[in-house]
Chains A and B, each alone.
Chain A
Amino acid sequence: MKDNVVIELEGVNKWFGDFHVLKDIDLKVRERERVVVCGPSGSGKSTVIRCINRLEEHQEGRIVVDGQELDDDTRNVAAVRREVGMVFQQFNLFPHLTVIENCMLGPTRARGMSKAEARDRAMEYLARVRIPEQAEKYPGQLSGGQQQRVAIARSLCMQPKVMLFDEPTSALDPEMIKEVLDVMIDLAQSGMTMIVVTHEMGFARTVADQMVFMDEGRIVETAPPERFFANPESERTKLFLSQILSH
């Protein structure tokens, strides 16, 4: 095996009250691998990736991230989160800080980096997401697409081992989706390990090494994209794909 397993989920179960959201989830993600998770809304796909950086707690099973098992030890959790970047549907930038301050906060406050160094790094990543000229603006002055790209840069500034994307284009106007997807494709090509929850099947076809289809809290099917799109095994996957690809 040439690449190490970075994320491993084994028999993960989770309940919100009586509602069984995740049922026996098994998932392995290797270094440099790109996994796209899709499925109808309410199928638990967001919950899975939120469990990986412990914004949600699972009740049964094991989650191991970069060799660290996620349990109730809090120091452990903060260390894991520094290595796992997360991009949210609603961007969640810090509105009281400028773009560059958003990007510098993590490196300076969570990693103890000097301001000058953090600033250089932030500018580097802002250039990579193609908005270095917006560095001194506040998030409220930017378009949705620009905000999402800042959010991606903010995560990258922590130089994480894995990036999680939780429907990163779902809150965007159609004309802005492409600029965000382009940035994500760049990132995938640079060798970043990524787990992406999305309905953008074109993007999935381009970058995914592995497609994961979820329904009603279960992983129904896992397959490489060629087989997943051309020849899905499960009836449920076929139905979903026919609905989502027909328009």
Chain B
Amino acid sequence: MTARRGTPRLGWMDYVVFAILIAAVAYVWYRVDSVLEYRWDWAVIPHYLYRWDEEQQRWVANLLMQGLYTTIRLALWSIVLAALIGVVFGIMRTSRRLFPRLLSRVYVELIRNVPPLVFIFIFYFFISSQIMPLLGIEELVRSASPETLAWLEFLFGPPKLISNVISGVICLAMFEGAYVTEIVRAGIQSIPKTQTEAGLSIGLSRLKLMRYVILPQAVQRVVPPLAGQFITLVKDSSIVSLISIQELTFLAIETAVSTTRVFEVWITVAGLYFCVCYFCALLFDWMERRMAVDR
């Protein structure tokens, strides 16, 4: 059988499904419109995306876009940190020594078997009271030159919220890192043992074997599941709104409450999340195809 490219032809079944879909949407619309007696007012939304700043005489991001930027920063840094945690613990998971294996196993099981919310409530207390002072972020920001401050603002957002954002990043990364660990472990273990034997027999140490033979092959195999996990991470980043990290969901709650336009705000927010995640999906698709061409 040859797969046909181009536009697929639609069968009668497709039209039936399509009709049912339209009917369902229309029904929901009707219920919202008549039964709920909800008065739509989309006009308030644009103002919460961008507003005209009289002082600076220019358009600036308002709550929702600020939240989106924070979410993107939060997600990007968490992905980097989670990938780092995942690779280190993933390698430890496959170690021949008991201690590293035990340590990473405990980490993974603790996180996988506790609900994310509960974990984040407990862990945030620990981060904000112990780790953040230790990192000395506040002092760093206070003593930074304007130039460094500009960089910090570009990388982490508004200076007064930097420590807030970093707490969120650590929480998210700790949480998602456990899943990345499992993906990396599966990737490493999917490389046949004969590759290890071949590497050892040309005199590579265990470390170099991992670095030059096993990991490069494992990384290629884990790109698809990893992509899925990173998209999940973007969505899961909404959880940290509960520890007052001022990202999209947190600011959406504020906006919804203050405007009372609950549906409009949340539908807009859903759209924003969708755009970010779908963009990520397209990006990972492209990466995957590029790697396949290289082979």
Contact = CB atoms under 8 A, between A and B. Distances in A.
A163 to B, nearest CB: 11
Nearest to A157: B202
Contacts of A247: none
B95 interface: no
A85 interface: yes
A90 B208 contact: no
A93 to B, nearest CB: 7
A81 interface: yes
A11 to B, nearest CB: 25
Interface stretch (A102-110, A177-185, A230-238): A102-110
A109 B194 contact: no
A158 interface: yes
A42 interface: no
A53 B202 contact: no
A78 B213 CA distance: 16
Given A81-B203, A110-B208, A138-B295, A96 B198 contact: no
Given A109-B208, A138-B295, A93 B198 contact: yes
A158 B202 CA distance: 7
A110 B204 contact: yes
Nearest to A92: B198
Nearest to B215: A96
Given A78-B205, A81-B202, A88 B197 contact: yes
A110 B198 contact: no
Contacts of A90: 194
Contacts of B217: 94-96
Given A92-B194, A96-B220, A55 B203 contact: no
A71 B201 CA distance: 16
A223 to B, nearest CB: 29
Contacts of A81: 200-203
Nearest to A138: B295
Interface residues on B, range: 10 to 19
B195 interface: yes
A105 B220 contact: no
A111 B212 CA distance: 14
A241 B13 CA distance: 69
A90 B197 CA distance: 11
A96 B200 contact: no
Interface in B206-228: 208, 212-213, 216-217, 220
A212 interface: no
Q: Which of A85, A95, A155 has the most CB of B within 10 A?
A: A95
B295 A111 contact: no
Contacts of A158: 202-203
Contacts of B199: 94
A40 interface: no
15 contacts: A53-B200, A55-B200, A55-B201, A78-B203, A82-B202, A86-B197, A88-B197, A90-B194, A92-B198, A94-B195, A109-B204, A110-B202, A154-B202, A155-B202, A158-B203
Given A96-B216, A110-B204, 13 more contacts: A53-B200, A53-B201, A55-B201, A78-B203, A78-B205, A86-B197, A92-B195, A92-B197, A93-B198, A95-B217, A96-B220, A155-B201, A158-B202
